[in-house]
Amino acid sequence: MQLAEPKNKHQRADWESWTPGTQIGQIMDDSLNPILYCED
C-alpha cells in the first residue's frame, strides 16, 4: 500500500503510530506493514 497524504489530524496520528518511517508516496514496508504479495 502506498502512503497517502493525511487529510486530518486523526489520519496523521495513525501514520505516526503505525508507519512512522514511511514518507508520503512511499510503499509501506516495515515490521507492522510488511509486503505480503508482489506481482513483479
pTM for this prediction: 0.72
* 29: containing domain: 1-40
Q: Are 3 and 22 in contact (CB under 8 A)?
A: yes
Residue-wise pLDDT for 1-40, tens only, equals 899 999 999 999 999 999 989 999 999 999 899 999 888 7
Per DSSP, the residues of 1-40 read: -BPPPPSSHHHHHHHHHH-TTPPTTSBP-BTTB-------
Task: State how far the Cα of 34 lies from the Cα of 26, in Å rounded to an integer.
Answer: 13
Largest CA distance in the chain: 35
Q: What pLDDT score was predicted for residue 39?
A: 87
C-beta of residue 35 within 8 angstroms of C-beta of residue 29: yes
Query: How many domains is the chain partitioned into structurally?
Result: 1
